[in-house]
């Protein structure tokens, strides 16, 4: 009899546990959508840099799996350093929210101005086109990891310019990871010396190909990316996930300053290199 009672109690308990697995959607406050401006102009070394892209999207509610694109905007970038300013038109590719320029002319240390007109509002920003160093060398080593498992560590080196304060955005793309991984560095303690960044992952193996990149960036963009990467750390280090906190960039809504956009206007050279694990 005791066994029967025990079985009944266990059955009731198990049913109550199953019933607790129902999905519950919590009603969240939905803010008006904000314009998101991805205006990162990158000039790959040893290319003309004439083809550039700016992407416009809008924010959406928490449960949405689709990121809305912002279509029908007017997008221009103007080189304001030249005696006669030169404006480059970015034309939307269909209705994708991707605005393409095929005749862009990147000039290091020149100032550029971004203008986006979308749904009757004008967004503007200015930034300098930053130079980037060359990835000079790459080296591989093996380091002890968790539980005694060896881990590959790859370092890539570049020479810092000792005549100025520099900030860098470094990236690493591993085929085993969905997104590139990024970090920001400053030459505060390495002025004029050789610098390096390293990548370590216990999942990489011989034959895997890694791609590294480096960009010279402004101090303002360094501060922005540092905050963004800290926020993204709560989502596995993916800087392109929706951040749980609002982070303002350097783009201003001239029509309604309180309705500021998200994103950043940034221009720089970029040097990249690939390395195969030995």
The DSSP H or E segment spanning 216 is: strand 209-217
| pLDDT of the residue at 159 | 98
**Where do we find the tokens 């990316």?**
225
DSSP reduced 3-state for 113:
strand
| pLDDT of the residue at 274 | 94
Residue 264: which of 199, 148, 184, 174 has the closest Cα? 184
Could you tell me the two tokens for 104? 């862009």
CA distance 54 to 37: 7
| pLDDT of the residue at 44 | 97
Q: What DSSP assignment string belongs to 237-268?
A: T-TTSPPSS--B-S-EESS-TTSPPEEEEEEE
pLDDT, tens digit, for every residue of 219-244? Answer: 999 999 999 998 876 444 455 544 54
Could you tell me the two tokens for 167? 């900030």
Cα dihedral 264, 183, 175, 179, rounded to 10, equals -40
Contact status, residue 265 vs residue 240, Cβ threshold 8 Å: no
CA distance 124 to 115: 5
- For residue 81, give the DSSP letter: S
- For residue 234, give the DSSP letter: G
Rg (CA), the chain: 24
| pLDDT of the residue at 22 | 55
| pLDDT of the residue at 65 | 77
Could you tell me the two tokens for 195? 């610098």
Q: How many CB atoms are located within 10 Å of the residue 50 CB?
A: 13
| pLDDT of the residue at 232 | 76
Nearby residues of 75 by Cβ (< 8 Å), 6 or more positions away: 54, 56, 89, 90, 92, 99, 114, 115, 116, 117
pLDDT along the chain (278 residues), means of 10: 39 43 54 92 97 95 82 98 97 98 98 98 98 96 78 94 97 86 95 94 88 97 93 57 69 96 97 94
Residue 180: which of 225, 121, 118, 245 has the closest Cα? 225
| pLDDT of the residue at 17 | 45
| pLDDT of the residue at 2 | 41
Residue 42: which of 82, 122, 101 has the closest Cα? 101
Q: Which domains, from first to last, does the chain contain?
A: 35-130+246-268 (2.60.40)
């Amino acid at each position: 009899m005791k066994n029967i009672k025990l079985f009944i109690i266990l059955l009731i308990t198990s049913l109550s546990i199953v019933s607790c697995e129902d999905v519950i959607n919590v009603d969240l406050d939905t803010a008006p959508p904000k314009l998101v401006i991805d205006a990162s102009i990158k000039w790959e070394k040893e290319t003309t840099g004439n083809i550039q892209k700016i992407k416009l999207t809008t924010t959406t509610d928490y449960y949405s799996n689709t990121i809305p694109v912002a279509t029908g905007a007017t997008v221009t970038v103007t080189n304001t350093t030249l005696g006669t300013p030169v404006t480059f038109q970015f034309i939307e590719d269909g209705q994708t929210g991707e605005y393409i320029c095929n005749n862009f002319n990147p000039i290091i240390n020149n100032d550029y101005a971004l203008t986006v007109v979308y749904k009757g509002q004008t967004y503007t920003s200015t930034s300098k086109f930053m130079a980037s160093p060359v990835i000079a060398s790459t080296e591989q080593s093996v380091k002890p990891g968790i539980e005694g498992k060896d881990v590959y560590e790859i370092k890539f080196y570049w020479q810092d310019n000792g005549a100025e304060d520099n900030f860098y955005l470094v990236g690493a793309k591993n085929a085993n990871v969905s997104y590139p991984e990024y970090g920001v560095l400053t030459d505060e303690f390495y002025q004029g010396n050789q610098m390096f960044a390293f990548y370590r992952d216990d999942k990489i193996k011989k034959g895997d190909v890694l791609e590294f990149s480096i960009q010279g960036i402004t101090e303002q963009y360094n501060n922005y990316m540092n905050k963004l990467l800290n926020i993204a750390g709560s989502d596995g280090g993916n800087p392109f996930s929706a951040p749980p906190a609002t982070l303002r960039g350097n783009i201003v809504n001239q029509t309604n300053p309180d309705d500021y956009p998200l994103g950043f206007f940034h221009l720089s050279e970029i040097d990249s290199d690939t390395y195969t694990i030995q």
